[in-house]
Amino acid sequence: MWRGAAAALLCLGAACLLGRGFDPRAWLLPPPPRGRLLSVAELARYRGAAGEPGLYLAVLGRVFDVERGRRHYGPGGAYSGLAGRDATRAFATGDFTPAGLVDDVSALSPGEMLAIQSWLSFYSDSYNPVGKLVGRFYDEDGAPTEALRQAEAAIEEALKFQAESEQRKQQFPPCNSEWNSAKGSRFWCSRQSGGVKRDWTGVPRKLYQPGSRGSHCVCVRTTGPPWGWPASSEHSDRGDLDNPHLEEYEGCHPLAEQCVLKV
């Protein structure tokens, strides 16, 4: 059951991220709630069982009342392991084992930190805030700890990286591609390849990212100024063909919109 719950949680997290669009201007986490300061032991009493005072969970030290989602978070619910604790790491990894239901977010990837940011925004929008959990992310006075500042800095860096990746995708949209054992590989460009709608088609090229050993196929503009140059500037009218990180496919015409690499 936990494996299925983990998959569902990660899928929902991905949907939240796509829906929010990773606006880099909105990287800041929602403001922490005013209210109670809870200890770890006190929060553990809020698992929603009979005789317990309520149903709470915490994300990055911020406590939310999730009574409204009892069928998900209450006893027997798919995400009941999240109740009564700060299991921030599980929101990113989908690991619902005891080792994964913890608040340690160190060494998580940029994508995982973005998932945490999205989930925190989701709970802030969907459930009533209760207060802060005294421990890893807030001290006994409710002030942010160094661990929280590091987590927020990691989220900021992840959002900047996401914005840069999106900009690269606009400049160099991924190619369409297919492969079969008889004909080999085919790469081609269209005005919607890579999911990037545009008014140009482009030609296939290998793109080598700095620090990366491999390459991947991208579509490259063949006319106009290089990316980022004003249209009024003097240029060779070759688009981004002269970008130093690009390489032509051997055996393919340099201006062909498709390239076939035979087996």
Q: Which of 166, 121, 40 is nearest to 113 (CA)?
A: 121
Q: What is the pLDDT of residue 13?
A: 46
Q: What is the pLDDT of residue 138?
A: 98
Residue-wise pLDDT for 68-118, tens only, equals: 999 999 999 999 999 999 999 999 999 999 999 999 999 999 999 999 999
Q: What is the pLDDT of residue 210?
A: 80
Instruction: Give the chain's length.
Output: 263
Q: What average pLDDT score do residues 40-50 get?
A: 98
Q: What is the pLDDT of residue 262?
A: 81
Mean pLDDT estimate for the chain = 89
Residue-wise pLDDT for 197-232, tens only, equals: 999 999 999 999 887 789 999 999 999 999 989 888
Cα angle 166-169-172, degrees, rounded to a multiple of 5: 155
Q: What is the pLDDT of residue 144?
A: 97
Percentage of residues in the chain with pLDDT exceeding 70?
Answer: 87
Residue-wise pLDDT for 117-170, tens only, equals: 999 999 999 999 999 999 999 999 999 999 999 999 999 999 998 898 899 999
Which amino acid is it at 218?
V
DSSP the chain: -HHHHHHHHHHHHHHHHHHHTT-GGG-SPPPPPPSEEE-HHHHTT-B--TTSS-BEEEETTEEEE-GGGHHHHSTTSTTGGGTTSB-HHHHHH---STTTSS---TT--HHHHHHHHHHHHHHHHHSEEEEEEBTTTB-TTSPBPHHHHHHHHHHHHHHHHHHHHHHHHHHSPBPEEEEETTTEEEEE--TTGGG---S---EEEEEE-TT-S-EEEEEE--SSSPTTS-TTS---S-TTTT-TTEEPPTTS-TT-SEEEE--
Listed range (44-48, 93-97, 180-184) with the worst mean pLDDT: 180-184
Which amino acid is it at 240?
D
Q: What average pLDDT score do residues 16-33 get?
A: 48
- More confident: 236 or 22: 236
Q: Which of 130, 129, 134 is nearest to 145 (CA)?
A: 134
Q: What is the pLDDT of residue 33?
A: 60
- More confident: 171 or 12: 171
pTM of the model: 0.69
Structure tokens at 23: 């606006």
Structure tokens at 103: 């608040």
